[in-house]
Amino acid sequence: MPKKTVILCEGVHDLIFFSILLDQKGISYRSVYNRELTETRERTPETNTIRRFISRKGGNTKFLIKDEDGWKNCIDNFVTLYEDMNPKYRLLLCLDDDQKTRERLKRATNERFRKDILLQQSEFLYQTKDEMKHLVFFIPGSLERQLRQITGKNPDLKGDEGRSTLTSFIDQCRREDAPWLSALETILSD
């Protein structure tokens, strides 16, 4: 099993959410915002970022969290990276759980690979059927919807206040023993 994991998430809030979870567990990570990759003059910035992460330059960093700027980019990049089958890292695709997203993922993988590559492990988790065992995790509804339901706060907060809101949200989910968060934390700890 690879020692490094690339997390592909839909947006900035998801990236911050994962960074808080990893910080709280004392797990090393690097985060990359989509805008950083689109504003660079590098020829293949995403490929270069992943190469640096899995190389010696990546050191002991165990996770690379990438904001993909939307579910479509997230799914497309997952399919591309899955096809690469690089044994040096495992993928964790994190998506909002709605019918449209699930259908898009299934259609994209079936079109590209001419078969179903995912095996359902739980209500929230799928695993690829190959030896790499890449993961797809669905947050019920969306992170923003969960945040609004549990804290009653607006998920579009910026800066330190937004990070503080997400931290409080995580703490409250733990107190309420939210099954999806427990499942996600187990994945991050493995």
CB 130 within 8 Å of CB 85: yes
pLDDT at 50: 84
Structural domains in the chain, sorted by start: 5-189 (3.40.980)
pLDDT per position as a tens digit, 18-59: 999 999 999 999 999 887 777 767 777 777 888 888 887 768
pLDDT at 152: 84
pLDDT at 75: 94
Residue 100 predicted with pLDDT over 70:
yes
pTM over 0.75, yes/no? yes
The angle subtended at Cα 188 by Cα 84 and Cα 182, nearest 5°, is 130
Cα–Cα distance for residue pair 147/170, rounded to 1 Å = 9
Token pair for 52:
């640096």
Please name the residue that has the structure tokens 């690879």.
2
**Reported confidence tier of residue 171, pLDDT bands at 50, 70, 90:** very high
pLDDT at 156: 67
